[in-house]
């Protein structure tokens, strides 16, 4: 039957969207509405009261700022290390290239839970503990494999002849990269950057274990969660979900590149 | 001076020897075509001249300068790629101006030069467009314009017409010929299409398996192929090769008697299809063959014939009456027969 695929799609969509909708609804509802039971499925009275309360809590803004710094550093590291590595993978045959590719993915095979404690000890020793830089380094380790592989497939999709043409027209290798390759790679690199940003923004475990005072927003919310009122949780949840949604909306085109579908 | 000199260039990719000590000299203002089947090393040779590959051994000179180890940008070359390699994020104008901008020419000079080559290539209307909005033929023109704009000492072209459809290819071929006569740019041109090579080249270098097997004008190569490979590769249909036996310094095929280069022994007789005259009746100085296939091609009738187990082709007038199975008589035109060594394939 033709109807089944549609029903299935509808079910999946609801499965994803319904919780997000409910969180958003609660975040914009007045306090009484959040506690009310049964839940109103349609917004009765919208208010910014809950969100205002959320941002009024001590430390939220500081944690947000820390999150931004960590995510910003993660993006910078991912691009600065990932793009050149991806370029090398795409353009230069070197011994062990395929092994390198597999190893990159293997780095994700170690659960962060296993790594976090030794890392904490190491970070304490070298003075990176409880710093945004330390957290950003761990987050970079998480995002780097994807940054490398995505940018590799990105550079692979840009014909080598374009670069060669630029060389014959008077460019050095660097000039050719900046004038020809980079403008063409930019949308894809932007997607990689946003991916790194979201990964860092949402990561909670490493951020919790490796910090004490300088917690990122997720880590901070985690510590507050148990002892905070329900509306606070909803507001926090909503605030965390929004960047991911914006990201997905912006990069849905490039997700195909991310998954290597558009390339042979 | 835009001459090119390639000296004993060897290129190895791992264990594969792509070029086996190639020597080549392209004169100033000459149009030289590197012709050969795919994998013969012609593109590798072009890329070595361009500086996109480095030779394993040997030297490359452009003009009087030794450029073997210079990067492409310092060689005074421009290149047209098989897939055009037009920058998709720049307008046609910016594509053509790219090389001039890299040379830091003043804006006014750039504008004038771009207009000039755009007029030459008839793409003035397209200057504000992006490559995605162009047809294949238009992209081709842009690629040539971009290369000519920098006024290179040497123009390198890598199968520039092979991505065009047949009709457009014919048109662009004529256009390129006109253009390069006008600009008098020394050109090294790679193709596997022998018709293209014949029509464009001042001289053709036929390559096979990493070596230049013959270098000469199109007429020389067509009429005096250095070996059976060249004879078979150039011309459509390819040259016919009939096994014959010389005796007493003569080759005898029915009524045909020709002086042979060898006193005695087996030989290959090479003759082009259009150099065989076809007769329905036995004729003085002719030999017999049986018709296998008759193909009316328009300007002439292409006959595939068989004699003593060897098939070969001949061209007859379109009105010639021939049917498969019939016996015809063929006479080579005066002075058009070539002899080749039956084992080495070399011309004798």
Q: Which residues of A touch B81 (CB under 8 A)?
A: 161, 164-165
Pair A106, A201 in one domain:
yes
**ipTM attached to this prediction:** 0.86
Region A113-125: mean pLDDT is: 86
Pair A91, A43 in one domain:
no
- pLDDT tier at A260 (50, 70, 90 boundaries)? very low
Instruction: Check whether A32 has a pLDDT greater than 70.
Output: yes
CA distance B215 to B192: 15
Instruction: Give, as one character, the DSSP assignment of residue A157.
Output: T
Pair A38, A107 in one domain:
no
Pair A43, A74 in one domain:
no
Pair A20, A117 in one domain:
no
- pLDDT tier at A256 (50, 70, 90 boundaries)? low
Does residue B88 belong to the interface with chain A, where contact is any CB pair within 8 Å? yes
| B4-13: strand order across its sheet | B16-26, B4-13, B57-62, B65-66
CA distance A158 to chain B (A): 10
The residue ranges of every structural domain in chain B are 4-226, 240-340
Superfamily of domain B4-226: P-loop containing nucleotide triphosphate hydrolases (3.40.50.300)
Structural domain of A208? 58-258
- pLDDT tier at A224 (50, 70, 90 boundaries)? confident
Could you tell me the sign of the dihedral formed by the alpha carbons of B16, A162, B196, B204, in that order? negative
CATH code of the domain covering residue A79:
1.10.3720.10
Q: Which two tokens stand for residue A31?
A: 């306090």
Most confidently modeled of A112-116, B41-45, B319-323? B41-45
pLDDT of B1 reads 61
Instruction: Check whether A261 has a pLDDT greater than 50.
Output: no
- pLDDT tier at A1 (50, 70, 90 boundaries)? low
Q: Which two tokens stand for residue A170?
A: 């008077």
* Burial tier of A115 (Cβ tally within 10 Å: 0-12, 13-18, 19+): middle
pLDDT of A239 reads 82
Does residue B77 belong to the interface with chain A, where contact is any CB pair within 8 Å? yes
Note the CATH architecture for domain B240-340.
Answer: Beta Barrel (2.40)
Cβ separation B150–A184 shorter than 8 A:
no
Pair A43, A62 in one domain:
no
In a domain, A52, yes or no: no
CA distance B77 to chain A (A): 7
Does residue B103 belong to the interface with chain A, where contact is any CB pair within 8 Å? yes
Region B33-49: mean pLDDT is: 94
CA distance B122 to B52: 30
CA distance B41 to B205: 12
Does residue B237 belong to the interface with chain A, where contact is any CB pair within 8 Å? no
Q: Which two tokens stand for residue A161?
A: 């002849």
Cβ count within 10 A of residue A59? 15
B149-197 pLDDT tens trace? 999 999 999 999 888 888 888 888 988 888 888 888 999 999 999 999 9
Which carries the bigger pLDDT value, residue B42 or residue A58? B42
- Summary mean pLDDT of chain B: 92
Pair A84, A38 in one domain:
no
Do residues B164 and B140 make contact, with C-beta atoms less than 8 angstroms apart?
yes
Using CB atoms and an 8 Å cut-off, which of residues 143-162 of chain A contact chain B?
Answer: 159, 161-162
CA distance B32 to B181: 13
- Look at A50-54, B164-168, B221-225 and tell me which has the smallest mean pLDDT: A50-54
Work out the percent of chain A whose per-residue pLDDT is above 90.
31
A180-210 pLDDT tens trace? 999 888 888 888 888 898 889 888 888 888 8
Q: How many domains does chain A have?
A: 2
Q: Helix A132-156 to helix A97-106 angle, to the nearest 10 degrees?
A: 140
Cβ count within 10 A of residue B334? 8
Work out the percent of chain B whose per-residue pLDDT is above 90.
72
């Amino acid at each position: 039957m033709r109807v089944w695929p549609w029903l299935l799609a509808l079910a999946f969509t609801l499965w994803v969207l319904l919780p997000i909708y409910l969180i958003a609804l609660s975040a914009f509802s007045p306090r009484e509405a959040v506690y009310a039971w049964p839940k109103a499925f349609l917004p009765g009275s919208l208010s910014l009261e809950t969100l205002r309360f959320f941002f009024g809590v001590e430390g939220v803004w500081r944690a947000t700022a820390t999150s931004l710094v960590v995510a910003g550093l993660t993006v910078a590291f991912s691009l600065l290390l990932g793009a050149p590595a991806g370029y090398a993978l795409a353009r230069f045959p070197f011994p062990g290239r395929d092994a390198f590719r597999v190893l990159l993915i293997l780095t994700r095979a170690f659960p962060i839970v296993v790594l976090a404690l030794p890392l904490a000890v190491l970070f304490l020793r070298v003075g990176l503990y409880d710093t945004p830089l330390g957290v950003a380094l761990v987050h970079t380790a998480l995002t780097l494999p994807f940054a490398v592989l995505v940018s590799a497939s990105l550079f692979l999709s840009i014909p080598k002849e374009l670069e060669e043409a630029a060389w014959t027209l008077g460019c050095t290798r660097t000039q050719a990269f900046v004038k020809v390759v980079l403008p063409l790679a930019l949308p894809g690199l932007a997607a990689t950057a946003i991916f790194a940003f979201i990964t860092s923004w949402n990561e909670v475990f490493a951020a919790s274990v490796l910090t004490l005072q300088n917690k990122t927003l997720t880590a901070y919310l985690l510590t507050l969660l148990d002892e905070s009122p329900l509306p606070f949780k909803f507001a926090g949840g909503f605030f965390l979900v929004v960047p991911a949604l914006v990201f997905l909306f912006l990069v849905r085109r490039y997700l195909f590149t991310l998954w290597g579908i558009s390339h042979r | 001076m835009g001459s090119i000199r390639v000296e004993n260039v060897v290129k190895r990719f791992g264990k594969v020897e792509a070029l086996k000590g190639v020597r080549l000299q392209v004169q100033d203002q000459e149009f030289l075509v590197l012709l050969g089947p795919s994998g013969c090393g012609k593109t590798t040779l072009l890329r070595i001249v361009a500086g996109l590959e480095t030779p394993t051994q040997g030297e490359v000179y452009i003009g009087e300068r030794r450029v073997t180890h210079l990067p492409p940008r310092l060689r005074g070359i421009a290149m047209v790629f098989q897939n055009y390699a037009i920058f998709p994020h720049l307008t046609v104008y910016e594509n053509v101006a790219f090389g001039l901008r890299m040379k830091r020419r003043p804006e006014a000079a750039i504008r004038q030069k771009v207009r000039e080559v755009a007029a030459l290539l008839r793409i003035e209307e397209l200057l504000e467009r992006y490559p995605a909005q162009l047809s294949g033929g238009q992209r081709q023109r842009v690629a040539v314009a971009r290369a000519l704009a920098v006024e290179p000492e040497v123009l390198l072209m890598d199968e520039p017409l092979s991505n065009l459809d047949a009709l457009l290819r014919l048109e662009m071929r004529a256009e390129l010929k006109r253009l390069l006569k006008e600009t008098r740019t020394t050109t090294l041109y790679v193709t596997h299409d022998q018709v293209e090579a014949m029509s464009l080249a001042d001289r053709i270098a036929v390559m096979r398996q990493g070596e230049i097997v013959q270098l000469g004008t199109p007429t020389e190569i067509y009429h005096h192929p250095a070996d059976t490979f060249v004879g078979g590769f150039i011309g459509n249909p390819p040259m016919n090769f009939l096994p014959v036996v010389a005796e007493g310094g003569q080759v005898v095929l029915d009524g045909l008697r020709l002086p042979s280069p060898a006193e005695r022994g087996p030989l290959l007789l090479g003759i082009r299809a259009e150099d065989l005259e076809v007769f329905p009746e036995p004729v003085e100085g002719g030999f017999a063959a049986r018709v296998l296939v008759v193909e009316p091609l328009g300007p002439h009738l292409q006959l595939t014939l068989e004699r003593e187990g060897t098939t070969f082709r001949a061209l007859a007038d379109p009105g010639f009456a021939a049917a498969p199975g019939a016996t015809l008589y063929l006479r080579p035109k005066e002075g058009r027969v070539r002899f080749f060594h039956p084992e080495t394939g070399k011309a004798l």
